[in-house]
Amino acid sequence: MNAKFFSFFILAISLALISQPANAGSFPITATSALDGSDEQVFVTGGPLSLLTQAPSGPYIVAIYSPGVVNFSSGVGMVSTLQGGFGLITYGSQSTDLVTGGLIFSGTFTLPALPDGTDFTVTFPVTFIGNAIAYQDLSGPGVNPPVKGPQIFDLAFQGSGTVTLEGGFARGQLYVDGEAASLNGTATVVPEPSSVLLLGTGLAGMVGMRRKLWARFAR
């Protein structure tokens, strides 16, 4: 089993575990995300939740696609203070800067064949799932490294929206250097935190694939 297949195998298991029907404990959310060379940001708000995470930088090459029908699958991680980024999370009366999780998108779009050097932007519908686990920060604001305390919440996300990709053609392919999502859905309390481990593994697999893309582009 090669690494690429294993990553998507884990991702498929993540989708099955995290995707849940809405219930009485659910509340509506809106979410946005951005992924490019200078930013990896997630913002989710709704009900008692306000969540913002931002990494100090993102991937220079998000993805590379060949012309034709593209079966799109991508993810963005929540890089909070716990992982060396920035976090500002409020849930009810509790606030913290420590969260782990992410969002995963899937959809389909058609990519035309265009000359090298052509800039290209496409917006298309997607569905998404995700997960976030937040913890109290026992070290206090601005103290590094942070001290992770008791869990505040474990939430699963699902819904739909749009993703916009920006990039340019080179070597007959589209090199994507920017990805932005605008989403609506629901958040549901998750009793077992184990699902985020699989989601994290799937996101880590995508990060590894992006590093390979960057190495391939640099050659």
Higher pLDDT, 83 or 191: 83
For position 142, what pLDDT does the model report?
Answer: 66
Q: What is the value of pTM for the model shown? A: 0.78
Q: What is the pLDDT of residues 68-113, one digit of tens each?
A: 999 999 999 999 988 889 999 999 998 999 999 999 999 999 999 9
pLDDT at residue 11 above 70? no
pLDDT at residue 124 above 80? yes
pLDDT at residue 211 above 70? no
The tally of domains found in the chain comes to 1
Domain that holds residue 89: 3-218
Classify 78 as helix, strand or coil: coil
Per-residue pLDDT band at 115 (split at 50, 70, 90): very high
The set of residues, in sequence order, having a beta carbon less than 8 Å from that of 154 and lying 6+ positions away, is: 131, 132, 133, 189, 190, 191, 192, 193, 196
Please state, rounded to an integer, the average pLDDT across all residues of the chain.
82
